[in-house]
Amino acid sequence: MSEKTRGQTLKEELFYKKKSAFEVKTPEELQQAKDYAVGYSAWLDKSKTEREAVEAGIELLEAAGYKPYSVGDPIKAGDRLYLNNRGKSLFAMHVGTEPIENGVRICAAHIDSPRLDLKQHPLFENDGFAYFKTHYYGGIRKYQWITIPLALHGVVTKADGETVKIRIGDEPGDPVLCISDLLPHLAKNQNGRPLGQAFTGEGLNVILGSSPFIEEDGKITPADEKSKLNIMILLNEKYGITESDFISAELSIVPAQNTVDVGLDRWLIGSYGHDDRVCSYPALTALMEAEESVHTNIAVLADKEGIGSVGVSGMQCVLLSDLIDELAKNLGGNPNVVRDRSKCLSADVTAAFDPNYPEVYEKRNSAIVHAGVGLAKYTGSGGKGGTNDASAELVGEVRKIFDDAGVIWQTAELGKVDQGGGGTVAMYIADHNIETVDIGVPVLSMHAPFELISKADLYEAHRAFAAFCR
Ligand code: MN
């Protein structure tokens, strides 16, 4: 090998070069990433709604010795606690031994994903078919939800106050639900419409059944709404619900597909709901892995990010701040000082550069699949509107933590300037005077019913969050 010239050496010293996990990692390290993905995939299959993600999260936490906590309970150093917020968001904390006024480290992800929620009077019949009316939740491209197998997940609180869980379409042998589409032979008018107008929200009606109720004498019932009656009877037999119980329900239509490896080399995972459970799972595993840390670490799995982080289970709620008040009260500190010295990774997915659609990305500043977890100094749209925009100092601090721990990471910007944009929970956490920066796993086909992520990037998210907690 010939000696490097001064120019070549200086270039290596002075220039930034993004590297993929395959350039940097040993075969053993790459295998660790694949092994980590197995646990994630299993967890994700149990977590198709925020409620299910809370339950699956608690399962992991309890197995690691975490105990239930309610606001007001005593807290002491060394405690492993989780707060189940009304079944819809989850706060897990490991209380460190250092003074609480040193601040806490927070990894905040979200566990809600785009889906089709049922309306309050969802069940109707049209020409022999029984349907559910839906009202979509979050940013969806409507055409993607048509002609794919769908499942029904959620809860119904009955008139007597009892809440029953519903999960149809994901167990082996289960029937699935579906939204039908036009045949190409008759789609002339629809094909002429812009993609965003070809499908309407009110048109996203889900097929539930197609057969009439049969009376005991073997004859079709003379009652009208025969298919709707048939479906209501089946639901009543299985769950004990009547039509009025839909009024007090949270039922969602989600893709029936479970996680699966994508590509013959098995380096991608395809699934519904990577956004943002692909950061939620690492937030929990990092919390558990960093338990030797003297810091107090908190993992937040929030709800409602898809519709603006609103409500008691969203990140605009003061509960995170209340929790810091409780930590300060119990451990002897001024809560305002704790917040002032706390730091947060707003752990949410970012857009991965898609070679199939290069025109919407600015490649130099886009996250590349397999090049590690993506750090986004800012998100937002139209001149950084609606972004937290972390400081140079915080990005510098986090960058050093990652580099010292050998984390593979890259910067991430959602796409070209003025092409679109998006937001995260970061600004709502920063509102509490907590320094926050966005970081997350790059996703292909974000918000689609079947999103793709890299196993290497997933593992680096875990390693990044663990380094931050340590
Ligand atoms: Mn997200």
Collect residues with CB below 5 Å from ion ligand 1: 275-276, 348
Average pLDDT over residues 406-410: 98
Distance 69 CA to ligand 1 centre (A): 27
Q: Considering the domain 17-113+272-469 in this protein, what is its CATH number?
A: 3.40.630.10
Which residue ranges does the chain devote to CATH 2.30.250.10?
115-255
The alpha carbon dihedral of 110, 412, 255, 243 has a sign of positive
Question: What is the SS3 assignment for 166?
Answer: strand
Residue that the structure tokens 């709404």 belong to: 225
- Please tell me the distance from the alpha carbon of residue 389 to that of residue 155, in angstroms, as a whole number: 38
Distance 376 CA to ligand 1 centre (A): 13
Q: Work out the mean pLDDT of the chain and round it to a whole number.
A: 97
- Please tell me the distance from the alpha carbon of residue 290 to that of residue 470, in angstroms, as a whole number: 5
Q: pLDDT class for 1, splitting at 50, 70, 90?
A: low
Distance 236 CA to ligand 1 centre (A): 36
Cα separation values, 120 from 207, 251, 301, 467, Å: 17, 9, 27, 45
pLDDT of residue 189: 96
pLDDT, tens only, 181-238: 999 999 999 999 999 999 999 999 999 999 999 999 999 999 999 999 999 999 999 9
DSSP string, 432-470: TT-EEEEEE-EEBSTTSSSEEEEHHHHHHHHHHHHHHH-
Q: Using CB atoms within 10 A of its CB, is residue 76 exposed (0-12), middle (13-18) or buried (19+)?
A: exposed
Is residue 2's pLDDT more than 80?
Answer: no
More confident call, 385 vs 394 = 394
- Please tell me the distance from the alpha carbon of residue 444 to that of residue 373, in angstroms, as a whole number: 14
Residues present in the chain in total: 470
Distance 444 CA to ligand 1 centre (A): 13
Cα separation values, 123 from 164, 186, 204, 269, 436, Å: 18, 28, 13, 35, 44
| Secondary-structure class of domain 115-255 per CATH | mainly beta
pLDDT, tens only, 140-163: 999 999 999 999 999 999 999 999
Cα separation values, 53 from 20, 43, 44, 89, Å: 30, 8, 8, 9
Cα separation values, 319 from 283, 316, 355, 394, 424, Å: 18, 9, 41, 24, 18
Distance 213 CA to ligand 1 centre (A): 43
Which residue ranges does the chain devote to CATH 3.40.630.10?
17-113+272-469
pLDDT of residue 423: 87
Distance 157 CA to ligand 1 centre (A): 28
Distance 460 CA to ligand 1 centre (A): 18
pLDDT of residue 327: 98
Distance 109 CA to ligand 1 centre (A): 8
Cis ω before 418 (30° cut-off from 0)? no
- Please tell me the distance from the alpha carbon of residue 449 to that of residue 1, in angstroms, as a whole number: 50
- Please tell me the distance from the alpha carbon of residue 379 to that of residue 101, in angstroms, as a whole number: 30
Distance 107 CA to ligand 1 centre (A): 14
